[in-house]
Amino acid sequence: MMYLFFVVKTPISCAVAGVIMATVGTRLAHEGGHYQLSSREWVNRLALFLGYFITGPSMAWHYRHVISHHAHTNQEEDVDVAYIWMADLLPGWFKILSLPGVAVGALVEIGPKSLIDILVLKSFNGHRVDWSLGHVLPEIAVWLFVHLWFGPSFFCYLCMWFVAGVIFVPCSQVAHAILYPDPQEYQSWAKMQIAESCDFASESDFWFHVAFGLTTQVEHHLFPGLGHHCYDRIRLITKAVCEKHNVTHYDVSAKKAFDALWHRWVKGFPAPLA
């Protein structure tokens, strides 16, 4: 990925780097950021740094994903749903035509735009950024130096952003966006996580790898520090406990999940999953 993007530097190589970034790189960063890869902190930190590097500084991912999204899934404080209300105001035909821009814009949002969030706003959707944690300023300096001096042309960045976004946006949002918004109030954090997450294609190895391990989001949001290899067994326990306590546990096919995502995007409201 790094070689294709920073050394070869052609539109095709950068597009291929985008595919790798959206699948392998995202999974590496995701599992490193949740400290799933190793008991050694530096191994997880390095995985987060390298997996996210062609997109943006890895601490941006930490603030967006771990602090904002995981703690407040689909709630007002969740940075992942910050722009949905604006999209819901637009007509469906316009949103369909804007999909290429969404793919590019999402990667810009989680990458270069995060520099503004960290350095200027010092906040991600209301969540304060602490410059003294995670070596965030030295990392940004390294990231800027490498991208400014060794990065490809702007067109190559567009190729990477577009290709990565085409994979990353639907696969990262399908398990949550199809349930947003849900106006009910929850009695506990755990019930909120179960209600705002959806397992999809949970027995498919293909979708597990394409969606960078995010096919069992209910279990991941309940136990984010556990490795993904544990979720197949935990999923059965979680479903049994939910059934016992009359709590809805969504587990749908990939077709149903992505159909619901398309409906949510075009229509502006969730489709029934039950």
Tens-place pLDDT, residues 185-205: 888 999 999 999 999 999 999
Mean pLDDT of the chain: 94
Residue 94 within a domain: yes
Q: Mean per-residue pLDDT for 133-151?
A: 96
Q: Please count the other Cβ atoms lying within 10 Å of the Cβ belonging to residue 121.
A: 13
Residue 229 within a domain: yes
Tens-place pLDDT, residues 222-231: 999 998 889 9
Residue 192 within a domain: yes
Confidence of residue 97 (pLDDT cuts 50, 70, 90): very high
Q: Mean per-residue pLDDT for 50-72?
A: 94
Q: Mean per-residue pLDDT for 39-62?
A: 94
Domain residues for the domain of 61 are 2-267
H or E stretch at 177: helix 154-177
Residue 134 within a domain: yes
CB-CB contact of 251 with 202 (8 Å)? yes
Residue 78 within a domain: yes
What pLDDT score does 107 carry? 96
Residue 220 within a domain: yes
Q: How many domains does the chain have?
A: 1
Confidence of residue 126 (pLDDT cuts 50, 70, 90): confident
Q: Mean per-residue pLDDT for 202-230?
A: 92
What pLDDT score does 183 carry? 76
pLDDT of 43 > 80? The answer is yes
Tokens (6 digits) for 215: 């096919």
Residue 272 within a domain: no
Instruction: Compute the distance between CA of residue 37 and CA of residue 29 in angstroms, rounded to an integer.
Output: 10
What pLDDT score does 151 carry? 97
Buried b (16+ CB within 10 A) or exposed e, 73-87: bbbebbbbbeebeee
Confidence of residue 182 (pLDDT cuts 50, 70, 90): confident
Residue 274 within a domain: no
The DSSP code sequence of 16-53 is HHHHHIIIIIHHHHHHHHTT-S-SSHHHHHHHHHHHHT
